[in-house]
Structure 1
Amino acid sequence: MASFTVNPDETVYDYIICGGGTSGLVVAARLAEDSNNSVLVLEAGQHNTLLENTQMVGGWSHNFDTEADWNITTEPSPGANGRQVKVSRGKFLGGSSGVNGTLCVRGTKQDYDDWNQPGWSGEEVFSYMKKAENFHNKKWFKADESAHGYDGMLHIEPHDLAPISNMILESMESKGLAFQPDMFTTGDNPHGCGHVLRTHYKGTRTTSADYFINQGSNLAIMTETTVDKVIFEDEGENMRAAAVKVVAKDGSSQELKARKEIIISGGAYCSPTILMRSGIGPISELESHGIECKVDVPGVGKNLIDHLIVFIFYATTKPNITNDHLLYKPGAIGEAYRQWKEEKRGPLSTFPFGAFAYARLDERLKSEPLWQNAPREEGRDPMGLTPSQPNIEFFSTECYGGPKQYATFPNGEDTHAFSLIAELFSPKSRGSVTLKSADPEDNPVVDHNYLAEELDMLVLTEACKFANEIITQGKGTADIVEGSWPRDLGHHKYTEREHWTQFVKDNATTCYHPAGTCKMGNSDDPMAVLDHELRVRGVQGLRVADTSVMPLLNQGHTQMPAYAIGEKAADLIKGTFLTLKTKDTTGI
């Protein structure tokens, strides 16, 4: 991608984007399409071109636990046996679009209709996801061509499945999940299986940094620069975001001014902390850190939502159906790296997720007292979902690997492993993001409060039971499973809910989908941080654009909504200043 650096003498820009992650770079690039706009992006991490593992798809995990990771660990969650979970986020230009699973799972249109916000209906959000796409099909994949975009900046393509994934699809079908190839693009099937498209093309990961290709000199980038806070001018109803205080890697600080707007795009963990350090947030929280409260907005940092997943690994002795032999045999990883480096192919050119499915659990849970007796709205289940929305997602791995506790690797010669992952949608549990201190170098305190609600545990354990049935009883895989991996786990024998409950408490982890901590909402919602145009309540010239704005998580993954939020935010900002310009407002 093209690289532009900031002019050290320039301290005033039309727009300042605080955070160079998935949504932020989309906003910046779209605003910079007008050559009359000067746009500055502030990114705490390095430039992505310095990090090979943001381009090599299979190198994603090598960014974790390094300077390229925010290195945030949650507070203990009592519902998960008091465990703390590492919630890694990309800390470089492109942010988590450079370390995610590359998955394009939009969710359903009802997910966005449920936000109940003007301009954010399912039809509208899907249209923005489509706008972001540049879809490249393959001969074998039956795409719903009308659902895709073909001239966006985000290159996507189908994933060529390993044999184990085709076997799992066969098992899913045999257990009642009908096959629909492109269902995760159309979002019209809550109970079926199919393929998921990926954000890579010709062996290379595509990220939001690709939006900067062909950008001109009106777009500037400051990397290794941490946003401390927003600085305001005037008071009361006329208070306006005027500048940003930043801290460089050497500890020096400076103020950068914005003529038009400041857009915070630090993600669900960092956007609320920037607001709080700026004096916008719950007054008691701010005062406890010696921060003057400019606007008392109690919802800042609240409503933290995430999707939980559980890896369920299985062993097989059948050779060459997983990709273990391409990674774990002696010398295999060196050859895999050579293949990617020289030919942009091989197991490191793609992410090792395989088959996918959505499932409704109404029938499976209908006899459970907790499910029967839980309150529900008319036409919705106890999780708040309509029949058009899935309760869970299943997706498989084509080799062994996952969170750090999965460290017993097969040898890739006579032992092989794969997993089916169960993902909980529409969790009832909510967490929070708070400040550790007023120091911008301190990471936030993240409390996800995982599995605090009984219904979350009920649905996730049922999902694990169903997943296990798919693998151990399904037509494509029943005959090739040799038990659990690691072999002492024994989960393939679990039948009772209490067994799966303990397994979930011990193994549930994040799907890296944090959202909701700066949610948009209606004027009568005291916990809403933003209005439907992403404007921060109580102040002018300040917006937030990232997954923190989502009032509810979609029943999918958050990559595509993050791109849609960036695209939509840019249009909202352009519309504001087009209107002002038409009215001949001075100073714009």
Structure 2
Amino acid sequence: MTETTYDYVIVGGGTAGSVIAARLSEDPATTVCVVEGGPDDRDHPNVIRLRDWMSVLGGDLDLKYTTTEQPRGNSHIVHSRARVLGGCSSHNTLIGFRPFAEDLDTWVALGAQGWDNATVQSYADRIRCDIVPVARQDRNAMVADWVAAASVATGVPVVEDFNALTSHGGGFSGGAGFLSIAYDPYTGHRSSASTAYLHPVMGVRENLTVMLETWADRIVFDGDRATGVSAATASGGRVTLHAREEVVLAAGAIDSPRLLLLSGVGEAGQLRSVGIDPRHDLPGVGENLLDHPESIIMWETVRPVPPETVMDSDAALFVRRDASDPRPDLMFHLYQLAFDDHTRRLGYDTPPEGHAVCMTPNVPRARSRGRLFLTSADPAVAPALDFRYFTDPGGYDERTIVDGLRIAREVAATEPFRSWIRREVAPGPDVRTDEELSEYGRRVAHTVYHPAGTCRMGAVDDPAAVVDPRLRVRGLRGLRVADASVFPALPTPNPMVTVLALGERAADLIRADRDRP
């Protein structure tokens, strides 16, 4: 057993963890250790090349978490989580949206004081990832025609830069346009959390240690204080990493609560039921599991999809149906490929290679809530994920998907996009009624890979909150959580920028608390 001591031990070298490690190690007198379960992303060219993002899904770098039986949704979803430096910013599509002001108003209303729009946007300004609108050379004619048709069909404006509308208190209720992506338009390489924050300092800062292929499976405590973590190495050995100041969990919305539960922090009865002695009864751990569920509609094109693209999903459409809320409540990504994992399972055919295009209506602020829990005390056993898709009492999530499928058909019937379409492949023109669209839409529903909320942030006196607004685990010392698991509610659009901003602010909170007398 190897033992080493640092000032800070950060579990997870992903989107937030990379930011926190880079910022804390700016002080040469502060020692920082990052514990990352996967390898160096620089050793995997397909990870660095954004266009190859789908090659990571389902491979050796994917943790491939599954879901429990979903009575009203799809029970066959694989929730990909990246086992590689950079975390999900090393295998997602790097779509970058600033959060809406109203999303952060919701956070504050749920007890996350200090996470207001002005504060979070100021941290978003610090982000080192190079987030830019899709470059002209990467914009193909079909996607441009889709943007134009989407604008006409839904009555929303064409947007040149979505982030210009949401920065510093702005927002939008609808729009169609090319996305902003964290990438280098000249090389097509990722501008991920690892490439932007860690690559420039790894091997340069003597006070920064990055332990790769090392899996933390237990938090070490002295009384109510976290003093380090115990971890398994790729060689089969074990290490104990001691933290003089704090342990920071940044392993994501699945593995941060999983590590807390394995360490005896969670609802006491649940822990006892799997043979874990409770150390700290904290019922909120694993609860409030959030996601952006999406469905799919697919067409065959009359001619090949043009090759120019960043990563085959370069544009989006936002629509607002509820006039009482200024935010859009329905979002669509456009996929320039056959996104057919679940349509094939239901017997639908797939268009010929290079002749598929899909719209994926998703629910930006889904009302269904799930939970994560352990089924075993063995760290090698994955946790159970019960997202409870489409179980909200009022049927809002289901209605949103049905409306989305109908709107997608309107876009496909509108020129100039209409001229690209040969036929609707799934669900097919015979699926027309609300009941039929709901049944199809829920059975092929997928995820946008945005799990969140499982270590929810809330007021210091909120018994259901896991962390306080300074990200400290309630009732314990020397332990914080800083990743999407602390979100009280999901941001309306893709949350990567919000996670990066959270990492930036977490580093400031950690430094400020260390400097307090």
Query: Taking structure 1 as the reference length, what is the TM-score of the superposition?
Result: 0.81
Q: Provide closer, same or farther for how the CA distance between residues 265 and 490 of structure 1 changes in structure 2, counting only shifts above 3 A.
A: closer
User: Shift of the alpha carbon at 1:538?
Assistant: 0.5
User: Shift of the alpha carbon at 1:258?
Assistant: 0.4
Picking from 162, 168, 176, the partner of 1:183 is 162
* Higher mean displacement: 264-273 or 119-128: 119-128
* Higher mean displacement: 491-500 or 562-571: 491-500
Report matched runs for 1:238-277 at 5 Å.
Answer: 239-277=224-262
Q: Provide closer, same or farther for how the CA distance between residues 95 and 164 of structure 1 changes in structure 2, counting only shifts above 3 A.
A: same
2:86 aligns with 94
- Provide, for residues 122-173 of structure 1, a one-character-per-residue CA deviation record: whole Å limited to 9, x for no partner: 22222222211xxxxxxxxxxxxxxxxxxx2445452432111111111122
RMSD of the alignment, in Å? 2.0
SS state of the match for residue 562, structure 1? Answer: helix
1:374 aligns with none
Picking from 297, 309, 313, the partner of 2:294 is 309
SS state of the match for residue 75, structure 2? Answer: coil
SS state of the match for residue 131, structure 1? Answer: coil
Code of the residue aligned with 1:98 in structure 2: it is: S
1:535 aligns with 472
Q: Whole-Å Cα distance in 2 between the matches of residues 167 and 393 of structure 1?
A: 18
SS state of the match for residue 235, structure 2? Answer: coil
- Provide, for residues 25-68 of structure 1, a one-character-per-residue CA deviation record: whole Å limited to 9, x for no partner: 11111100111111000011112122122111122222222221
Picking from 427, 430, 451, the partner of 2:390 is 451
1:219 aligns with 208
2:16 aligns with 23
2:508 aligns with 571
User: Shift of the alpha carbon at 1:70?
Assistant: 0.8
Q: Whole-Å Cα distance in 2 between the matches of residues 420 and 66 of structure 1?
A: 25
Q: Provide closer, same or farther for how the CA distance between residues 409 and 30 of structure 1 changes in structure 2, counting only shifts above 3 A.
A: same
Picking from 96, 101, 104, the partner of 1:109 is 101
User: Shift of the alpha carbon at 1:532?
Assistant: 0.1
SS state of the match for residue 120, structure 1? Answer: coil
Code of the residue aligned with 1:476 in structure 2: it is: P
Picking from 115, 118, 133, the partner of 1:123 is 118
SS state of the match for residue 396, structure 2? Answer: helix
1:285 aligns with 2:270: yes
Q: Provide closer, same or farther for how the CA distance between residues 490 and 552 of structure 1 changes in structure 2, counting only shifts above 3 A.
A: closer
1:72 aligns with 65
Q: Whole-Å Cα distance in 2 between the matches of residues 179 and 155 of structure 1?
A: 19
User: Shift of the alpha carbon at 1:290?
Assistant: 2.0
Q: Whole-Å Cα distance in 2 between the matches of residues 355 and 95 of structure 1?
A: 23
1:460 aligns with 2:401: yes
5+ long unaligned stretches in structure 2: none
Are the equivalent residues in 1 in contact too, given 2:342–2:444 (CA < 8 A)? Answer: no
Q: Whole-Å Cα distance in 2 between the matches of residues 428 and 212 of structure 1?
A: 36
Q: Whole-Å Cα distance in 2 between the matches of residues 394 and 290 of structure 1?
A: 44
User: Shift of the alpha carbon at 1:389?
Assistant: 1.3
Aligned residues: 496
Query: Taking structure 2 as the reference length, what is the TM-score of the superposition?
Result: 0.91
Q: Provide closer, same or farther for how the CA distance between residues 402 and 542 of structure 1 changes in structure 2, counting only shifts above 3 A.
A: farther
Are the equivalent residues in 2 in contact too, given 1:104–1:185 (CA < 8 A)? Answer: no
1:170 aligns with 2:108: no
User: Shift of the alpha carbon at 1:309?
Assistant: 1.1
SS state of the match for residue 166, structure 1? Answer: helix
2:314 aligns with 354
SS state of the match for residue 427, structure 1? Answer: coil
Are the equivalent residues in 1 in contact too, given 2:340–2:350 (CA < 8 A)? Answer: no
5+ long unaligned stretches in structure 1: 1-7, 133-151, 327-345, 364-385, 584-588
Code of the residue aligned with 2:134 in structure 1: it is: P
Picking from 365, 370, 375, the partner of 1:436 is 375
1:379 aligns with none
1:84 aligns with 76
Q: Whole-Å Cα distance in 2 between the matches of residues 17 and 288 of structure 1?
A: 29
2:412 aligns with 471
Are the equivalent residues in 2 in contact too, given 1:265–1:271 (CA < 8 A)? Answer: yes
Q: Whole-Å Cα distance in 2 between the matches of residues 209 and 155 of structure 1?
A: 14
User: Shift of the alpha carbon at 1:180?
Assistant: 2.4
Are the equivalent residues in 1 in contact too, given 2:257–2:455 (CA < 8 A)? Answer: yes
Are the equivalent residues in 2 in contact too, given 1:162–1:354 (CA < 8 A)? Answer: no
SS state of the match for residue 419, structure 1? Answer: strand
SS state of the match for residue 439, structure 2? Answer: helix
SS state of the match for residue 8, structure 2? Answer: strand
1:232 aligns with 2:221: yes
1:400 aligns with 2:312: no
Code of the residue aligned with 2:380 in structure 1: it is: E
Q: Whole-Å Cα distance in 1 between the matches of residues 420 and 78 of structure 2?
A: 33
1:586 aligns with none
Are the equivalent residues in 1 in contact too, given 2:298–2:359 (CA < 8 A)? Answer: yes
User: Shift of the alpha carbon at 1:436?
Assistant: 2.6
Are the equivalent residues in 1 in contact too, given 2:134–2:314 (CA < 8 A)? Answer: no
Q: Whole-Å Cα distance in 2 between the matches of residues 37 and 24 of structure 1?
A: 16
Report matched runs for 1:298-447 at 5 Å.
Answer: 298-317=283-302, 319-320=303-304, 322-323=305-306, 326=307, 350-362=310-322, 387-401=325-339, 403=341, 405=343, 410-412=351-353, 416-447=355-386
1:331 aligns with none
Q: Whole-Å Cα distance in 2 between the matches of residues 493 and 182 of structure 1?
A: 37
